């Protein structure tokens, strides 16, 4: 399934009522931002230094669904990641643009159905295809239980789901224990150093944004 980190997060954060669950919740909006930063950082499009977010290269054509978020980073380049996340997570106008871009990218793939809710204030609601969501959970679970190592992309996805309190929705207590074991093993693997450091830092920033 050709999906990137924010798109996977978007689908898995929806419930039976669709994606308005993300739009109406500050925590889920914040972690939508975190998943977007993961996607940009893992593809070396941006770097996070101790004090700032730096753009390394232009947004590639296959990531146009992150265009609005990339523009926020561009306008605030050199400022802290806390500043960038706060700009997205706490301002509904900005959130709505990013939310819609990611949602519409999934409509184009026919992975979600788009509906409009509200009378005076209209909001797009994206409802994932049941089989798409089921297959996505199956792929992630299979990787956790059977693959020798978790991929950086899946690690980032799990970090956002964990921070969002959604991990327990998709994994049994036994599977969660297996996941913790793999993460513990990854913590001493040099190939995960940057990712683990980034995950810890972003989670701390999200808590600051929510505070």
Would the pLDDT of 34 be above 60? yes
Q: What is the domain range of residue 199?
A: 5-210
Please enumerate, as own/partner, the contacts of 56-60 that have beta carbons within 8 Å and a separation of 24 or more: none
Q: In this structure, what token pair is assigned to residue 125?
A: 């609601």
Q: What is the pLDDT of residues 185-209, one digit of tens each?
A: 777 777 777 777 777 777 777 766 6
Q: How many domains does the chain have?
A: 1
For the chain, percent of residues with pLDDT exceeding 70: 93
What CATH code is carried by the domain that includes residue 44? 1.10.3630.10
Query: What average pLDDT score do residues 8-32 get?
Result: 88
Report the helix count and the strand count for the chain, using DSSP H and E.
11, 4
Q: Tell me what the pLDDT averaged over the chain comes to.
A: 84
Q: What is the pLDDT of residues 158-182, one digit of tens each?
A: 888 887 888 888 888 888 888 888 8
Query: What average pLDDT score do residues 1-13 get?
Result: 91
How many other β-carbons are positioned within 10 Å of the β-carbon of residue 33?
28
211 vs 84: CA distance, rounded Å: 15
175 vs 173: CA distance, rounded Å: 5
Output 19 or 84, whichever has higher pLDDT: 19
Would the pLDDT of 51 be above 90? no
Read off the pLDDT band of 85 (50, 70, 90).
Answer: confident
Q: CA dist 126 to 93, 140, 150, Å?
A: 18, 21, 29
Q: What is the pLDDT of residues 111-165, one digit of tens each?
A: 999 998 877 778 899 999 999 999 999 999 898 888 888 888 998 898 888 878 8
31 vs 207: CA distance, rounded Å: 10
| Residue 90 confidence (pLDDT) | 57
The DSSP symbol for 2 reads: -
* Backbone Cα Rg of the chain: 17
| Residue 92 confidence (pLDDT) | 56
| Residue 201 confidence (pLDDT) | 75
95 vs 207: CA distance, rounded Å: 17
The DSSP symbol for 65 reads: G
Length of the chain: 211
Q: In this structure, what token pair is assigned to residue 155?
A: 């690690």
Query: What average pLDDT score do residues 51-80 get?
Result: 88
Report the SS3 class of residue 84: helix
CA angle 145, 177, 192 (to 5 degrees): 70
| Residue 93 confidence (pLDDT) | 63
């Amino acid at each position: 399934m050709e999906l990137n980190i924010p798109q996977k997060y978007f689908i898995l954060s929806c419930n039976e009522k669709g994606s308005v669950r993300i739009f109406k919740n500050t925590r889920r909006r914040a972690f939508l931002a975190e998943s977007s930063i993961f996607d940009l950082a893992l593809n070396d499009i941006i770097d996070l230094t101790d004090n700032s977010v730096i753009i390394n290269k232009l947004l590639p054509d296959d990531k146009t669904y992150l265009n609005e978020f990339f523009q926020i980073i561009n306008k605030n380049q050199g400022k802290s990641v806390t500043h960038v996340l706060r700009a997205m997570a706490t301002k509904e106008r900005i959130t709505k643009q990013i939310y819609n871009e990611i949602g519409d990218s999934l409509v184009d793939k026919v992975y979600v159905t788009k509906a409009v809710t509200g009378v005076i204030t209209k909001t797009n609601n994206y409802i994932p295809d049941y089989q798409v969501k089921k297959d996505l959970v199956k792929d992630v679970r299979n990787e956790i239980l059977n693959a020798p190592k978790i991929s950086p992309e899946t690690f980032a996805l799990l970090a956002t789901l964990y921070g969002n309190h959604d991990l327990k929705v998709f994994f049994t207590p036994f599977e969660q224990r297996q996941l913790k074991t793999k993460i513990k093993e990854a913590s001493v693997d040099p190939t995960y150093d940057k990712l683990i450091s980034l995950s810890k830092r972003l989670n701390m920033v999200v808590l600051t944004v929510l505070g």
